[in-house]
């Protein structure tokens, strides 16, 4: 009884790295990522020229920058897919440490660019948002801790990782960036659930999150304004949500035509947080459904591969990466159709932004590395080792 399917492949002694990589990588997911990035550039050609004109740049200034950021992201992603889970874990720990220190320094050296939230470091030629890079690193660290806690005489990794998640969420809430704070807690919660968490513990965490939201509503004008706008029966047509909702209605099923949309001239964040509104207006529901299908393909294929994985760390960290990627995309699109309050969250690989696209490349690179098909050994050996 060898291999028992479990996604395993026979080893080939002396096989070169690239052929082995090609045999074991999820080609469908890589293809979907490249298509998403291509769609992002296509939408950037429509959404960014008005902003470039207002800022005194050439018409395709932001598209050219996105191409440069995207090339960096793709190179990083492909480099990470070549690495072993052990190397991914080491890099994740180092990346998390660097991003965590950067997050601590934001209140001193960060800037808000007039948006009311101190989330960026200004570098003169661009900016960096540490929270984008913190997410993949934190998931790797938390997945490692939770996996280690399930070992005999293992450390209290679940407690430690939860404490780290709460502290990060607090730092993000102080910026304020409640969307990223919720995403970090969600990523930890998914891994904790997959690791065998009791239901009452998860219910307690959800209660704490709701309590934190109530406190934030009472004490943060920024947070309260967004919640009030979301709960209002009428949408102010001069707000970003109003412009986005109108653009989606105008687009209909087939869209108004390439370059014929008007929302990009009204929305200041048309090329970032509300890029899906541009897609819906100019290309219609068809392109939106294609984008959703691409995200679903990446996430579902990754989860199905992880279901066959025996290594606890790979299973937990991979699940956290896949679900965080999915929820970020879902939040961005839900905000545009007013299913959720405005969060200031980008659409991975589609929205403009150096930090966003490079961090997305890191996250997916790690996920693809963890979901590569690898020899799993004989199932009877696994059962004997686990004492079953």
For 157-181, the pLDDT digits (tens) are 999 999 999 999 999 988 888 889 9
Which pLDDT belongs to residue 296?
97
pLDDT confidence tier of residue 227, bands split at 50, 70 and 90: confident
Mean of the per-residue pLDDT values of the chain: 85
pLDDT band at 146, cuts 50/70/90? Answer: very high
- What pairs with residue 111 in β-bridges? 120
Q: Is the pLDDT higher at 167 or at 153?
A: 167
Position 226 pLDDT exceeds 90 = no
Residue 94 has pLDDT above 60, yes or no: yes
pLDDT at 210: 79
In the predicted model, what is the mean pLDDT of residues 102-112?
Answer: 90
Beta bridge partner(s), residue 128: 121
- State the Cα–Cα distance between residues 22 and 167, nearest whole angstrom: 40
Q: Note the pLDDT of residue 8.
A: 47
Residue 301 has pLDDT above 60, yes or no: yes
Residue 380 has pLDDT above 70, yes or no: no
Element containing residue 122 per DSSP (H, E): strand 121-122
What mean pLDDT do residues 301-317 have? Answer: 93
Give me the pLDDT at residue 356, please. Answer: 93
Q: Report which of 2, 4, 17, 10 is spatially closest to residue 373, judged by C-alpha positions.
A: 10
- Residues 161 and 117: beta-carbon distance below 8 Å: no
Average pLDDT over residues 236-244: 73
Q: Give the model's confidence band at 322: pLDDT under 50 very low, under 70 low, under 90 confident, else very high.
A: very high
pLDDT of residue 147: 93
List all residues 6 or more positions away from 276 whose beta carbon is below 8 Å from its beta carbon: 288, 291, 332, 333, 336, 347, 350
Return the half-sphere exposure (C-beta side, CA atoms, 13 A cut-off) of residue 86.
Answer: 0
Q: How far apart are CA 56 and CA 35, in angstroms?
A: 30
- Helices of type H across 234-346: 240-251, 275-307, 312-336
- The winner for highest mean pLDDT among 86-95, 199-208, 336-345 is 86-95
Q: Which one-letter DSSP state was computed for residue 25?
A: S
Choose between 338 and 349: higher pLDDT.
349
Q: In terms of pLDDT, which residue wins out, 297 or 230?
A: 297
pLDDT greater than 90 at residue 299? yes
What was the pLDDT predicted at 211?
81
Cα 85 to Cα 317: distance, rounded to the nearest angstrom: 10
Contacts of 170 (CB under 8 A, 6+ apart): 181
387 pLDDT above the threshold of 80: no
Distance set, CA 174 to CA 140, 206, 228, 380 (Å): 24, 20, 20, 51
CA nearest neighbour of 181 among 149, 215, 147: 215
Residue with the larger pLDDT of the pair 151 and 230:
151
The model's pLDDT over 1-60, given as tens digits with 9 standing for 90+, comes to 333 334 444 456 567 888 888 999 999 999 999 999 999 999 998 888 888 888 888 888
Tokens 């492909």 belong to which residue?
Answer: 78
pLDDT confidence of residue 377: 45
Yes or no: say if 365 and 79 are a contact pair by the CB < 8 Å rule. yes
Bridge partner residues of 127 (DSSP): 122
Query: 349 vs 197, which has greater pLDDT?
Result: 349
The answer on pLDDT for 362 being more than 90 is: yes
Enter the DSSP assignment of 264: G
Place of tokens 């919640």: 227
- β-strand partners of 120: 111
Characterize 232-263 residue by residue with b for buried, 16 or more Cβ atoms within 10 angstroms of its Cβ, and e for exposed: eeebeeeebbbbbbbbbebbeeebbeeeebeb
* The token pair that represents 1 in the structure block: 């009884």
Q: Do the Cβ atoms of 82 and 21 come closer than 8 Å?
A: yes
Q: Is the pLDDT of residue 385 over 50?
A: yes
- Summarize the confidence of residues 318-332 as an average pLDDT: 95
pTM score, two decimals? 0.89
Tokens of 275: 């890029």
Q: Looking at residue 78, what is its pLDDT?
A: 96
Q: Rounded CA gap, 259 and 367, in Å? A: 35
Sign of the alpha-carbon dihedral angle for 312, 315, 320, 323: negative
Q: What is the tens place of the pLDDT at every residue in 336-348?
A: 888 887 777 899 9
């Amino acid at each position: 009884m060898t291999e028992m399917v479990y996604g395993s492949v026979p080893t080939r002694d002396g096989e070169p790295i690239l052929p082995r990589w090609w045999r074991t990588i999820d080609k469908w997911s890589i293809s979907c990522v490249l298509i998403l990035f291509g769609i992002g550039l296509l939408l950037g050609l429509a959404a960014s020229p008005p902003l470039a004109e207002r800022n005194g740049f050439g018409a395709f200034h932001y598209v050219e920058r996105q191409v440069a950021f995207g090339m960096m992201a793709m190179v990083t992603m492909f480099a990470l897919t070549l690495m072993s889970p052990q190397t991914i874990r080491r890099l994740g720990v180092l990346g998390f440490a660097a991003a965590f220190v950067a997050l601590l320094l934001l209140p001193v050296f960060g800037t808000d660019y007039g948006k009311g939230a101190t989330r960026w470091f200004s570098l003169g030629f661009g900016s960096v948002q540490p929270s984008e890079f913190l997410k993949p690193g934190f998931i790797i660290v938390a997945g490692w801790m939770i996996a280690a806690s399930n070992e005999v005489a293992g450390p209290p990794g679940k407690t430690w990782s939860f404490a780290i998640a709460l502290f990060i969420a607090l730092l993000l809430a102080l910026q304020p960036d409640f969307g990223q704070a919720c995403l970090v807690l969600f990523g930890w919660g998914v891994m904790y659930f997959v690791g065998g968490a009791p239901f009452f513990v998860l219910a307690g965490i959800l209660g704490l999150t709701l309590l934190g939201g109530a406190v934030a509503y009472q004490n943060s004008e920024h947070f309260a304004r967004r919640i009030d706008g979301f709960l209002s029966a009428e949408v102010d047509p001069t707000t970003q949500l109003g412009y986005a909702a109108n653009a989606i209605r105008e687009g209909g099923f087939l869209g108004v035509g390439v370059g014929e949309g008007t929302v990009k001239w009204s929305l200041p964040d048309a090329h970032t947080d509300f890029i899906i509104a541009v897609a819906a207006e100019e290309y219609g529901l068809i392109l939106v459904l294609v984008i959703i299908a691409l995200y679903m393909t990446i996430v579902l294929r990754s989860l199905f591969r992880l279901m066959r994985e025996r290594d606890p760390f790979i299973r937990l960290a991979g699940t956290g990466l896949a679900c965080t990627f999915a929820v970020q995309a879902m939040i961005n699109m839900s905000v545009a159709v007013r299913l959720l309050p405005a969060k200031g969250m980008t659409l991975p690989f589609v929205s403009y932004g150096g930090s966003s696209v490079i961090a997305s490349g890191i996250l997916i690179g790690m996920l693809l590395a963890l979901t590569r098909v690898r020899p799993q050994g004989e199932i009877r050996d696994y059962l004997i080792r686990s004492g079953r």
